[in-house]
Amino acid sequence: MSCVNREQLKKDLLLYAVTDRSWLGEETLYEQVEKALKGGATFIQLREKELDEEHFLEEAIALKELCHKYHVPFVINDNVKIGVHVGQSDMEADDVRKILGEDKILGVSAQTVEQAVLAEKMGADYLGVGAVFSTSTKKDASAISKERVKAICEAVHIPVIAIGGITADNILTLKGSGTRLLTSGE
């Protein structure tokens, strides 16, 4: 079981931003993340699947320090050493919790009520549920219904974050789903 302060975590997860190198244009990832933080992001996830380990570690260290400066929690996709968000095809949440310890944040992706309940039971601090809309950043993700998102929210006691394809144009369609916590869009 985690000793992470869940009430504080709910506040921290208000606007959850996930990095994506394809958005950079002429800017660095650091510059983009700092813009997100200045714009109100309250939680940052480093998700960079295409970087080699050396460059990934450099980015992770710099972004962890940047997030610390803004007093914003920082997790890394699929990296247990810092604070982590894992998908269904990664390690089981209870195994990750054993490695991570009780004082680090553990997020788990879920697409079904069963996955969500199991992740909570195994020590997840929050869930990333979706994709709620189609997304260009994760080609293999298929959208799940608002009804399923609502069912997941009703089945667990930990924060649920809607993920995938959220934009200013579609965010209001999630109203009433039970998620009060949302990721940044594409």
Q: Are 129 and 161 in contact (CB under 8 A)?
A: yes
CA distance to 17, 35, 67, 97, 167, per residue, from 72 (Å):
11, 13, 5, 21, 22
Cα 84 from Cα 39, distance rounded (Å): 23
Nearest to 156 by CA among 183, 184, 124: 124
- Using pLDDT thresholds of 50, 70 and 90, give the confidence band for residue 82: low
**Active site includes 2?**
no
Segment 11-68, tens digit of pLDDT: 888 888 888 787 788 999 999 999 999 999 999 999 887 788 888 889 999 999 999 9
- Residue 183: per-residue pLDDT: 53
Taking phi first (over 0 means left), then psi (-120 to 50 degrees means alpha), and beta for anything else, what does residue 49 get? alpha
Stretch 67-95: mean pLDDT, rounded?
81
Segment 97-156, tens digit of pLDDT: 888 888 888 989 899 999 999 999 999 999 999 888 876 666 566 778 889 999 999 999
Catalytic residue among 10, 21, 47, 64: 47
Catalytic residue among 97, 104, 138, 148: 138
- Using pLDDT thresholds of 50, 70 and 90, give the confidence band for residue 165: confident
Q: Are 63 and 74 in contact (CB under 8 A)?
A: yes
- Residue 111: per-residue pLDDT: 92
- Residue 186: per-residue pLDDT: 42
**Active site includes 69?**
no
Q: What is the Cβ-side half-sphere exposure of residue 168, based on CA atoms within 13 angstroms?
A: 0
**Active site includes 177?**
no
